[in-house]
A and B are shown apart, each in its own frame.
Chain A
Amino acid sequence: MISMQIKLYNCIKYVKKKSFALKRYIHCLLCFFLFACTEPVSPEFEFESGLIYVDAFVSNLPGSSFVNIAESNFIFNRYQNEFIENARVVLKNIETGTEVVFVEEDESYLPENDFSVQTGESWELDILLPDGRQYKSLPETIDAGSIPISEIKTTYDPEFMFSVSEDDFVPGHSISFTFDDPPQEDNFYFWRYRSFEELITCEICEGGLFRDGECISYGAYIAEFGPCIDETVVKPFNTYTCSTDCWKIRFNENIKIFSDEFSNGNKINNLPVADILLFTKNDILVEIQQYSISAEGYRYFKILKDIVDNNGNFNATPPAALLGNMFNPNNGEEYVLGRFTAAFASTASVFIDRTNILEKSLEETLIDTENAELFFGNGLKVISTTPCVESQFRTGTRPEGWID
């Protein structure tokens, strides 16, 4: 009877295949009150257009400050956040009256390369859009300075965290910090990271060939070169090895924050600050930025964390509007999303050797020698490499701390 019953259960996907019927049945009982099953569904939205989003960050690290301004719109019936061009973006020092103008560059507004803010300074942001709309921030003060990290620890766990999309536990490293929290003031911390993995394959071209920086479909290629191509050697995709040094850049996918409300002035031991999933088994360099943020900033990032990380639990926090310290001085009824954050930052880098890890990585590693272009004949040139192209997610500059 029991073996018949279990046919009706779907939750048994968690159960190892070797399980026998009773085991699977009891497992499903447990599934009822200890697990939950998830299933992908078509995302539902109630889109609103005309929402202004400001993502502004300034810190003591030169080159790290930026202001992004976007507006939600329907473009050809498709919801998009459009970068707003030609805005006047000015950062004002409250005490000195100093104004720093941010200049538009690659869909962002940036200050001079050497611009930085210092502990104790108070700044506010002033934005004037080309259509006359004006947005301001409340003043933001950099309260805390550098907080030295006494120990950095990296721990590998084959079942590091449960991934909804993988529907299973996935392996990864946890990076944790040990530091002494300053006793003089309330401290609020925010961490994010960039990671670097050396790239072997710079491009994968599905259903076509990589030429002049883009994938050209076989159809287009055949149209141009016609019968010269031997269709028997056409493959689903072709890979292209990096011809120059190249590193893939990834960013944190969850929000790491901490307040010393229960531990002011104490030693904080092994606090996880970065979750590094095993996307590949290549060695990885993790560059962690630690920010000392304000109480209001912490509250904003706590809302962000609830939206991004804490929304899939039994006791999920109902989502709140991501409203920070930006406002429209001429229209108090307008929701202005995002936040201007001024914070003191310090960085630490961790190099992780992953060559001896046995678990399967999340991303499949393609072997270029097996997937490179084949010779088409008739004198057409076979290309197997491509140079590294700089972007937000890729760099050809060797990251500081990289070990060969």
Chain B
Amino acid sequence: MIEKGVQFSFLLVLLNFNFLLGQSEEYRLSFKILSASTGIPINNANIFLSPCNCGGATDENGLFFIDLPKNKYSITITFIGFADESIEVELEKNTLLDIKLYEKEERLSEVIVRAKKLNENITTPQMGVLRLKNQELKKIPTALGELDVLRALTLLPGVNNAGEISNGLSVRGGSLDQNLFLFDYAPVFNPTHLFGLFSVFTPDVISSIDLYRSNIPARYGGRTTSVLDIKVKNPYVNKFKLTGGIGMVSSRFNIEAPLIEDKLMVVAGGRAGFTDFLLPIFSERLDNTEADFYDATLKLLYLPTEKDQISLTGFYTKDFYKLDLISRIENINAENNQYDFQTLNGTINWLHSFNQSITLRNIVVAGNYDADNIFPEIDIPNEIKFKSSIKYSSFISEFSNQVNDVFDYYVGIQANRYKIEPGQLDPGTGNSVLPVELDTEISNEFSGYANLNWQPLDFLTLSTGFRYTYYLLQGPFTLNDYETATGNVLNTEFFEDGEKVNEYNRIEPRLGINILLDENTSIKMSYARLNQYLQNIYNSTTPLPTSRWKAADPNILPQTSDAFGVGIYKNFHENAIEVGLEGYYRISENNLTYRPGADFFLEQFVDREVVQIPGKAYGIEFSLKKPNGKVNGWLNYTWSKSLLRTESEDLSDRINNNQWFESDFDIPHTLNATINFEGSEYNTLSFNFVGQTGRPLTVPNGTIELSDGIDVPIFLERNNSRLPLYHRLDLSWNIHFSKSKENKRWLNDWTFTVYNLYGRKNPLNRFYTQRNGSQNSDVFLDSPLGSFELYILNSPLFSLTYNFTFQ
């Protein structure tokens, strides 16, 4: 294994050597496409170059880059509603073209987006933001060829998951529920399919993915560690376009089309995976296994006037599965446990532009997350159902003004309402269980926020803001007072429907400072305070979709974090290579952990079962990125710690005797590297490597033998050991086809991926069992217990996906 590791380290070094060498014969041709009348960048403008017969489309900032050999090029730029523009360029150095398009008589609505500079990573005071574009997402090798947002993010610095199976992300040592996932402004409470293997976000409709980890902008709040802001692309199209892919696990289709020319457009994407019907053919063990998932996104864009843009986004995702390898729910006598969960979100976004500088955005969001357990009764044709849901509604209004080149600001208000139905047990037609219904929890967050970016001096930029939140918990609610020693209920207070239970007023300052040392170097500092009023409560290695969400109340206090950051950033070779070194320190309060033996399923007194404890996380992240060129990619190394500490008098509630202990997401060393070889127009070859310290693990401090002969491991500490080093290399080979002569509207390509190229066995967990006679005695030796490691994958995994575009 060491030998393999050395081989692949060598490969990595070799790849990165190539990466750094660059292509001395090529120059970068950059475009910035603006509307001539408004000066606003144009998204999706088509750029065609000859003689290379290459080109592409601008991003939402009107930007497009391409690296080409020295030559003379003819360039044509087209965009609906605008007159075509043709120019010729002699490319003999890196060149940026500012091109203004003139509108035709019948014009599109103005689309206001902020321009992005080539060296934005240096000039902006924003720290800790990670950005992935759809094109980058498509290059990353993935398991089974599935494009995946969360898995792609784990290749970025400071982002981890707990092995192959994890129902979310850990960002800078935070827990999985401390990240806010927004999909076109609507929160997503369960971000994964198939118990964490794939994320739920319909891949083809994604426009951009921004992960904020440091000075989170004031417009975001509600989670203490990060915000993942995923935007669905605006369908600025004037002709029908169909894209899709057929893969081993799922198939996906995406349509973009104008419904009313230049007025109403649509993008609709969907993905479905239901290969489980094949399962019984291959193994009797899978007779009772099912795993189906679907997701779909629809976005309508309406342009009623040149000043207004109204969009409606609908997002639906659904999973159903039953697996042997999930612990059964106790105390419901059933054949098996099934999981059925779905998200249905809707967003209306109205953007009004008063002029080139001033905009007003109003957003209404409605969301519904339903997570059910189904329990078929033994020998009785009846299903018992556990139902839970979160209903979310939100209104956001944000005014922004780009006053001048050195000053801009935005102010906004946000009102969120959460209606959590934590659990209901429906006996169906049977009579073996009683109906149970836990109290609905209704909580509200009313926030006001403001943020300004100001460049008082040429070398100094400030970004400062605040977010004020008034949190209100309303009845119906049962508030209990517990005896500390026994946990027995001492007093109970009932609150009527709509009655105020309690409130929290919190101010969250945010600050970013950027000091430019020279054109290509900057130092940034940041601070952010964040509060979290909603948490996911579970006591397993990763939450289930049905894990309980709990609003803050008088007994469960809001989680709080104060995050400090400092970093130095430098670009080389005219911004072709970006290097960053960023450090962070985060102090958190009221992190949730559980009491030993806690069971949260339909638990009435859930606040008695959890303990809130302080935590701290710190680390240093080094990143090296070459965003463009025929060889592009990135390399990240992170050193970090994530620690927690109980402060309990009660011996049984203490963890590691009230000393700081490593949280489940403490991963001291992480090395990620991604490299893409875009050698020709027919082939793109990508590799990514992940290497990280194994996650913390609890090993026994002894064993005991029960009177009936069962050997039991004794655990007195938590996370006192680690799983072995995790490392993996993936490969993706994308084979493009040129337009066929017969049908120029049809494009297709194949993506061949190998996940875990060299077959590393990365254990997900290690567990202890009774010994079975002399079996495995050569491994277990004289230990009273056996021990096994659980792998999700212990070999390379190949997949082939066919992708097509018709337009």
List the interface of chain A (C-beta within 8 A of B): 5, 8-11, 14-16, 19, 23, 25-48, 51, 53, 55, 57, 66, 68, 70, 72, 78-79, 81, 159, 162-166, 169, 176, 192, 194, 251-253, 255, 257-272, 299-300, 302-304, 306-308, 310-323, 332-333, 335, 337-338, 363, 392-393
Contact = CB atoms under 8 A, between A and B. Distances in A.
26 contacts: A10-B794, A28-B797, A29-B797, A36-B791, A42-B780, A47-B702, A51-B701, A79-B703, A81-B704, A165-B786, A251-B710, A257-B330, A258-B331, A262-B433, A263-B434, A269-B333, A269-B432, A270-B333, A313-B325, A314-B195, A315-B544, A316-B541, A320-B715, A321-B652, A323-B651, A337-B714
A-side interface mostly: mixed
Interface centre among A11, A40, A66, A258 (most CB of B within 10 A): A40
Contacts of A338: 704
Contacts of B327: 310, 313, 315-317
Interface size of B as a range: 35 or more
Given A252-B710, A267-B431, A270-B378, A262 B425 contact: yes
A302 to B, nearest CB: 5
A302 B599 contact: yes
A192 B708 contact: yes
A302 B795 contact: no
Contact of A26 (B278, B433, B597): B278
Contacts of B790: 36-38, 312
A261 B781 CA distance: 43
B285 A14 contact: yes
B554 interface: no
A81 B705 contact: yes
Contacts of B433: 262-263, 266
Contacts of A165: 769, 771-772, 775-776, 786
Contacts of A32: 143-144, 197, 792-793, 797
A226 to B, nearest CB: 32
B694 to A, nearest CB: 12
Interface of B: 143-144, 165, 194-195, 197, 248-249, 275, 278-279, 281-286, 289, 291, 323-327, 330-333, 377-380, 425, 431-434, 436, 539-544, 596-597, 599, 602, 651-652, 664, 698-710, 712-718, 720-721, 759, 761, 764-773, 775-776, 779-783, 785-799
A53 B704 contact: yes
Nearest to A7: B795
Given A29-B248, A164-B788, A262-B332, A159 B652 contact: no
B710 A253 contact: yes
Contacts of B597: 299-300, 302-303, 306, 320
Given A45-B703, A53-B704, A316-B540, 6 more contacts: A10-B759, A33-B195, A41-B789, A79-B702, A314-B541, A333-B651
A302 B596 CA distance: 10
Contacts of B707: 55, 57, 66, 68
Contacts of B767: 311-312, 316
A316 B248 CA distance: 29
A45 to B, nearest CB: 5
A266 B425 CA distance: 15
A262 B602 contact: yes
B715 A307 contact: yes
Nearest to B539: A317
B781 A42 contact: yes
Indicate the member of A42, A68, A162, A259 with the most B CB atoms within 10 Å: A42
Contacts of B543: 315
B795 A9 contact: yes
A36 B712 contact: no
Contacts of B761: 39
A344 B424 CA distance: 33
A41 B597 CA distance: 27
Contacts of A253: 710, 770
A332 B284 contact: no
Contacts of B769: 164-165, 312
Contacts of A312: 765, 767, 769, 788, 790
Contacts of B282: 15, 19, 23, 26-27, 30
B436 to A, nearest CB: 6
Contact of A72 (B332, B651, B702, B779): B702
A307 B713 contact: yes
Contact of B716 (A37, A313, A335): A335
Contacts of B165: 314
B596 A46 contact: no
Interface centre among A45, A271, A299, A317, by most chain B C-beta atoms within 10 angstroms, is: A45
Contacts of A51: 701-702, 714, 716
